[in-house]
Amino acid sequence: MFVEKFSQAAPMPVALGATPEDMDKFFKQIVDNTLIQNCSILAFIGEKCVGFALNFIETKPKKSNMNPEEDFDGDLTEEIAKNHWGNFSANAIAAMMSESSKNFEYYIPDSKKFLKLRILYVDPEQTGKGIGTKLVAKCIEIAKMDECDHLITIAAAAASAVIFSKHGFKVVREIPVSAYNENCIQIFSNLPDGCKNVKLMILKI
């Protein structure tokens, strides 16, 4: 269910023409890595799942003194070539997410425990009903209950960036979608939601 919804609605998989089969292995790893902890959320209307937030809590954050901006050139060629996920679409999206969150600990040097929101999804048929806003509010509640000091996320969709901003998240790093390339060829273009920048966003709790 999750992988089909994600591949058919999330802007970057849609822009790359990714199929559920393309995204299956990559997405299932995210699901497996988040559901081992009891901090992810499903939203239902009746018996229908209409949204989810996949989270995990890091209790031993690493430290980083390296500013991720210093060596950024947008070139994902090497990472894509590793072919971790068996197809271009999944490899490109995974490489983008890895680069966008690289050394994010640089921005939270004093963190002792944080919650990372990996994926926020709302069924396109249910947008405008406040589901995404409620999911993020619940993520913040969980982070507070677990005594996290920060909440971290990557906003790779225009709507999610708006929701995070409304909840007080701050943009600490912003990368133009057009900057990501493979062999000097732009990877992502004409995202269906018009998103222009991928944003690393952090909420201090």
| Domains within the chain, CATH numbers bracketed | 2-204 (3.40.630.30)
Which one is predicted more confidently, 170 or 73?
170
User: According to the model, what pLDDT value does residue 35 have?
Assistant: 86
Spatial contact of 172 and 120, defined as CB atoms under 8 Å apart: no
Please give the average per-residue pLDDT across 25-43, as a whole number: 92
User: According to the model, what pLDDT value does residue 1 have?
Assistant: 62
In this predicted structure, the answer to whether residue 129 has a pLDDT above a threshold of 80 is yes
**From CA 151, how far away is CA 80, in angstroms rounded?**
28
**From CA 174, how far away is CA 155, in angstroms rounded?**
10
